[in-house]
Amino acid sequence: MNRSSRNKRPLKKCYLKKDDKVKIIAGKDKGKIGKILKVFKKNQKVSVEKINIVKCHNKPNAKNSQGGIIETEAPLHWSNVMLMCNKCMSAVRVKIQQLEDDEKTRICKKCGEIVDA
């Protein structure tokens, strides 16, 4: 039986997946396009290739005797990215469509094409 979820806030579902092509719509890398490296469902963040690069200063340790600066992609909130549609060649809003076999697919609201990597 389904319990009523009336009192719960609707949870915003994440429609982003690894290897998706996304456009950054906010922050210092606004306007750039990158590929999703990882989705962090718990804190609703994604890390995108070459986007939001931060430099970590590492002290020398057993693994890395030199130490030094490591550049890494810092995760950004997924509301700051938008999925790219290959047909529209731009960042688009998508809607989730449930297929018969319970699979969910993402449809571009602009052209109606399935947006999938």
Residues that bind Zn ion (CB under 5 A): 85, 87-88, 108, 110-111
Contact 78, 27 (CB under 8 A): no
Nearest approach in angstroms of CB 73 to Zn ion is 26
The secondary structure element, H or E, covering residue 37 is: strand 33-40
Nearest residue (CB) to Zn ion, 35 versus 87: 87
CB of residue 110 vs Zn ion: minimum separation in angstroms? 4
Closer CB to Zn ion, 79 or 90, in the complex: 90
| DSSP assignment string, 82-105 | EEEETTTTEE--EEEEE-TTS-EE
Which residue's CB is nearer to Zn ion, number 36 or number 83?
83
**CB 82 to Zn ion: min, Å:** 12
